[in-house]
Structures are given as structure tokens and as C-alpha cells.
């Protein structure tokens, strides 16, 4: 296993992943049109960079969406990547997206600074191999039914393929809590910090499934020692084409970030 050795740290643009200061990966669930991704990126920049003085900021947005129903919005694909790249260039922030299909890896790598593997594709080994070949930094989400060791073995596919810039994202488990979308097991954070040299980020939006829980999960994740947060933000969450219940509005996002700063977690 290549999982032993010095802790992994890497830069994505100006953002440092795995360092002392947490990274904030924020943006909409799906990139719905060019205006909304630019407006969201500008707001994130204003709050995190201009107001709070953070450097470790990455814009997220889905171009290919893993939807339960084939009749739900599936994402705008490569067009969305163009809009995302433009939003990144205009704000000076690095951008990342999810890739599900190994055939989309090379086109995605032309547009984005990093790629995340969604929960449902954690064990999509042809995808992991292709990502290792592409050489872009990869954030690997844990599947909601996968064990920690299965997750770390999937990360090994990336490391064994020669990729050094790999981080993990915890995003909750399918469980007994019917008041949240998934159960967020915060013990994963210190366990990964002990077991693995890879940075551990917590996605606080997907386990919550509802906006009111997001700030609480964010403070818990950072207090537990996470190297960063992934958090969904949308200009008009109630009108979002995916995950409308859990995305934060701009004002909710700003309040959450100020609260974390007030608690010295950011
Ligand atoms: C997402 O990040 O929008 C997403 C679909 O997440 P997950 O793969 O964790 O369900
Ligand atoms: Mn989502």
C-alpha cells in the first residue's frame, strides 16, 4: 500500500489542500447556466477571499449529474464546463467538477483544475484508472455504503496509477436517521487522519439534505479536524434543478462562514 509516508499536501491554483488552514469547496450542485455559476463564484469570492481573507477556496459545480431518476435533470455536460471555467477565470479561483464516465475524463481535464469522484462511483475502477492517467488532482468521495477500508482501497487505485494529488471526501452513510438525508459519522475524520496520509474533507450538504443542518455539520466537521468542507450554494436554492432542499442561499452561506470564523474554525 502506498498509503504510508508523509501527509499529502498539494496546491490547486492558490488553494492549499491538506495544510493547516481548511479548504472550502463551494458552489452549486449543478451548473444550470453561465450566469448562475458566475454569480455564485463571485459571491463565494467576496465572502471568503475579500471579507474573510481566505486563500484556500475552490469553486465546485456539477456538469454530469448522478441522478436517481433518468427523468431528472442530468446536467449540461461540456457546455457547463465552459461556463465553470469562465467563472473560475473571472474570479481567479480554481474550479472542480464531478466525472462519472471514464470517456469524459480527458475533456473535463481540459477545463477544470481538479475532479471529484461522486459517492456512486467510488468503486468505478475504470474511472479511477483513467483519472490517475489524466493527472489532475482527485477528491474521492466515500460511497454511502462503503467501509473505510474499501474507500482507502479505491484511493489506492489512484495512487497506484501514479497520481500523488489525492484527497478524500466523507459525505455520510445511508442509515437510521430519517430526519437527515444520510448520517454523518464524524469519527471518520480522526480515523482517516490516523490511518491515511491523504487530506480528509467533509461534504456537509449531502448528509444534511436540508439547509438548516448544514451550519451545524460544518462546525462539527472542522472541530473534528477536517482539512476542509464541501458545501453547496445556489443563488435561488428553492428553484435549483437538483438538491434544492440542501443548498444554501448566498446570505445563509455568508452567515455560516462568518459563524465558523467567529468560532476560530476558519
Ligand atoms: C454532489 O456532490 O453533487 C453529489 C452528487 O454528491 P454525492 O456523490 O456525495 O452524492
Ligand atoms: Mn448535490
Q: Give pLDDT tens digits for 205-220.
A: 999 999 999 999 999 9
Pocket of ligand 1 (CB under 6 A): 29, 62, 66, 118-120, 141, 171, 203, 206
Q: In this predicted structure, what is the pLDDT of residue 2?
A: 52
For CA atoms 183, 140, 239, 250, give the dihedral sign. positive
**Is 251 contained in some domain?**
no
- Which tens digit of pLDDT belongs to each residue from 122-134? 999 999 999 999 9
**Is 183 contained in some domain?**
yes
**Is 3 contained in some domain?**
no
**Is 265 contained in some domain?**
no
Nearest CA to ligand 1 atom 8: 118
**Is 182 contained in some domain?**
yes
Mean pLDDT of 74-95: 98
**Is 243 contained in some domain?**
no
Quick one: which of 132, 129, 141, 138 has its CA closest to 163?
132
Pocket test for ligand 1, best of 96, 172, 206, 229 (most atoms within 8 A of CB): 206
CA gap 211, 23 in Å, rounded: 20
Query: E strands within the chain?
Result: 10-12, 15-17, 23-27, 57-60, 95-98, 114-117, 138-141, 166-170, 200-203, 228-232
The pLDDT-based confidence of 5 (bands split at 50, 70, 90) is confident
Please tell me the distance between residue 118's alpha carbon and the centre of ligand 1 in angstroms: 5
Domain region containing 190: 10-236
Atom index in ligand 1 nearest the CA of residue 169 equals 9
**Is 5 contained in some domain?**
no
Please tell me the distance between residue 212's alpha carbon and the centre of ligand 1 in angstroms: 18
Atom index in ligand 1 nearest the CA of residue 116 equals 2
Residues, the chain, total? 266
**Is 199 contained in some domain?**
yes
- Which tens digit of pLDDT belongs to each residue from 139-183? 999 999 999 999 999 999 999 999 999 999 999 999 889 999 999
Contacts of 209 (CB under 8 A, 6+ apart): 180, 181, 182, 245, 246
Please tell me the distance between residue 158's alpha carbon and the centre of ligand 1 in angstroms: 19
Q: What's the number of domains the chain is made of?
A: 1
Q: Strands 138-141 and 166-170, how do they pair? A: parallel
| Whole-model pTM over 0.85 | yes
Please tell me the distance between residue 67's alpha carbon and the centre of ligand 1 in angstroms: 9
Question: In this structure, what CATH number is given to the domain that contains residue 24?
Answer: 3.20.20.70
Amino acid at each position: 500500500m502506498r498509503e504510508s509516508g508523509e501527509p499529502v499536501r498539494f496546491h490547486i491554483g492558490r488553494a492549499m489542500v491538506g495544510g493547516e488552514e481548511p479548504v472550502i469547496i463551494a458552489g452549486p450542485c449543478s451548473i444550470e447556466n453561465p450566469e448562475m455559476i458566475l454569480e455564485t463564484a463571485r459571491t463565494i469570492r467576496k465572502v471568503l477571499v475579500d471579507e474573510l481573507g481566505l486563500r484556500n477556496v475552490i469553486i465546485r459545480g456539477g456538469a454530469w449529474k448522478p441522478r436517481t431518476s433518468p427523468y431528472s435533470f442530468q446536467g449540461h455536460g461540456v457546455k457547463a464546463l465552459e461556463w465553470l471555467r469562465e467563472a473560475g477565470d473571472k474570479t481567479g479561483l480554481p474550479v472542480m467538477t464531478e466525472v462519472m464516465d471514464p470517456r469524459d475524463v480527458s475533456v473535463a481535464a481540459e477545463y477544470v483544475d481538479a475532479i471529484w469522484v461522486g459517492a456512486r462511483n467510488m468503486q468505478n475502477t475504470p474511472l479511477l484508472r483513467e483519472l490517475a492517467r489524466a493527472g489532475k488532482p482527485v477528491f474521492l468521495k466515500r460511497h454511502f455504503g462503503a467501509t473505510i477500508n474499501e474507500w482507502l482501497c479505491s484511493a489506492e487505485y489512484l495512487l497506484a496509477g501514479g497520481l500523488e494529488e489525492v484527497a478524500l471526501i466523507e459525505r455520510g452513510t445511508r442509515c437510521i436517521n430519517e430526519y437527515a438525508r444520510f448520517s454523518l459519522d464524524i469519527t471518520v475524520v480522526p480515523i482517516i487522519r490516523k490511518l491515511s496520509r491523504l487530506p480528509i474533507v467533509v461534504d456537509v450538504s449531502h448528509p444534511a439534505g436540508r439547509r438548516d443542518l448544514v451550519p451545524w455539520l460544518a462546525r462539527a466537521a472542522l472541530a473534528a479536524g477536517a482539512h476542509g468542507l464541501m458545501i453547496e450554494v445556489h443563488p435561488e436554492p428553492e428553484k435549483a434543478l437538483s438538491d434544492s432542499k440542501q443548498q444554501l442561499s448566498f446570505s445563509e452561506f455568508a452567515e455560516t462562514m462568518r459563524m465558523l470564523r467567529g468560532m476560530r474554525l476558519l
